[in-house]
């Protein structure tokens, strides 16, 4: 089963993708994570992408689509894909259709996380992750049980994304509205879009998504 998680930055796509990986053995394909790894590794793609990402703009459709193509090739046909942060433009949605056909796959669900943008700004600007295992935390909503120690792996190193400041977040939301939201009608016409209340508690959002996946 292949699904797209759609929603503005901070809607909880990454959090839900991690939970779906655990519950359903699916694989998260996050172009944001792939790009951040490329930036960290200093690859040509990473060098090109860094300033664009820091400004909250979109990296080129070709670059992100090549990353997705490579992942689909590597993971093989039997593992379900959770597209997280891709596609983000009408062009990417079109390219994804071609990639899925090429890899003998098809899209089962597009799940839109419905959220309140002002609340999201608070959510995003307080978030951070374990630098070792990637577990997500939040200054207000989800502190580690022992201060400064990751619940999951015990690491004491945490990190914040450079693009998680208010100005960039507001810009990323505007980019979501103008570039990404327009891909929805095409999927709606295929009858594969479901909406979930993304402001609900993390576990409730997961239950709602599980119910859609069946």
Name the residues that contact ligand AMP, by CB under 6 A.
9, 31-32, 35, 52-53, 56-59, 64, 85-86, 88, 92, 163, 172
Token output for 42: 């200093």
Token output for 158: 């945490």
Is 208 known as a binding-site position?
no
**Ranges of H-type helices in the chain:** 13-24, 31-41, 44-54, 61-75, 90-102, 117-125, 166-175, 184-189, 202-213
Is 133 known as a binding-site position?
yes
For the bound state, the minimum distance from the C-beta of residue 111 to ligand AMP, rounded and expressed in Å, comes to: 15
Is 148 known as a binding-site position?
no
Q: Are 65 and 99 in contact (CB under 8 A)?
A: yes
Residue nearest to ligand AMP (CB): 32
Cis, peptide link before residue 87, omega less than 30° from 0: yes
> Closest CB to ligand AMP among 35 and 209?
35
> Closest CB to ligand AMP among 97 and 149?
97
- First-to-last alpha carbon distance for the chain, in angstroms, is 11
For the bound state, the minimum distance from the C-beta of residue 153 to ligand AMP, rounded and expressed in Å, comes to: 21
Q: Measured between alpha carbons, how far is 67 from 47 in angstroms, rounded to an integer?
A: 15
> Closest CB to ligand AMP among 52 and 149?
52
- Annotated catalytic residues are 13, 88, 127, 161, 172
DSSP string, 138-192: ETTTB--SBTTB-TTT----EE--TT-SHHHHHHHHHHIIIIIGGGHHHHHHTT-
> Closest CB to ligand AMP among 28 and 92?
92
Is 57 known as a binding-site position?
yes
For the bound state, the minimum distance from the C-beta of residue 52 to ligand AMP, rounded and expressed in Å, comes to: 5
Cite the annotated binding site by residue number. Answer: 10-15, 31, 36, 57-59, 85-88, 92, 127, 130, 133, 150, 153, 161, 172, 200
């Amino acid at each position: 089963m292949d699904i797209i998680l759609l929603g503005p930055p901070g809607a909880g796509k990454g959090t839900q993708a991690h939970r779906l990986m655990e519950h359903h053995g699916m694989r998260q394909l996050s172009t944001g994570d792939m790009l951040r790894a490329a930036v960290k590794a200093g690859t040509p793609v990473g060098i090109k992408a860094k300033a664009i990402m820091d400004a909250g703009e979109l990296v080129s459709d070709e670059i992100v689509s090549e990353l997705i193509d490579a992942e689909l090739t590597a993971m093989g046909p039997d593992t379900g894909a959770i597209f997280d942060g891709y596609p983000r433009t009408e062009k990417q949605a079109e390219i994804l259709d071609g990639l899925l056909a090429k890899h003998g796959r098809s899209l089962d669900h597009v799940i839109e996380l419905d959220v309140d943008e002002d609340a999201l700004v608070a959510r995003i600007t307080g978030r951070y992750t374990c630098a070792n295992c990637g577990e997500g935390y939040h200054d207000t909503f989800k502190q580690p049980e022992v201060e400064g120690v990751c619940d999951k792996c015990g690491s004491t190193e945490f990190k914040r994304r450079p693009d998680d400041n208010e100005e960039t977040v507001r810009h990323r939301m505007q980019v979501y509205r103008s570039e990404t939201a327009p891909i929805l009608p095409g999927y709606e016409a295929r009858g594969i879009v479901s909406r979930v209340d993304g402001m609900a508690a993390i576990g409730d959002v997961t239950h709602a998504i599980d119910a859609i996946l069946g």
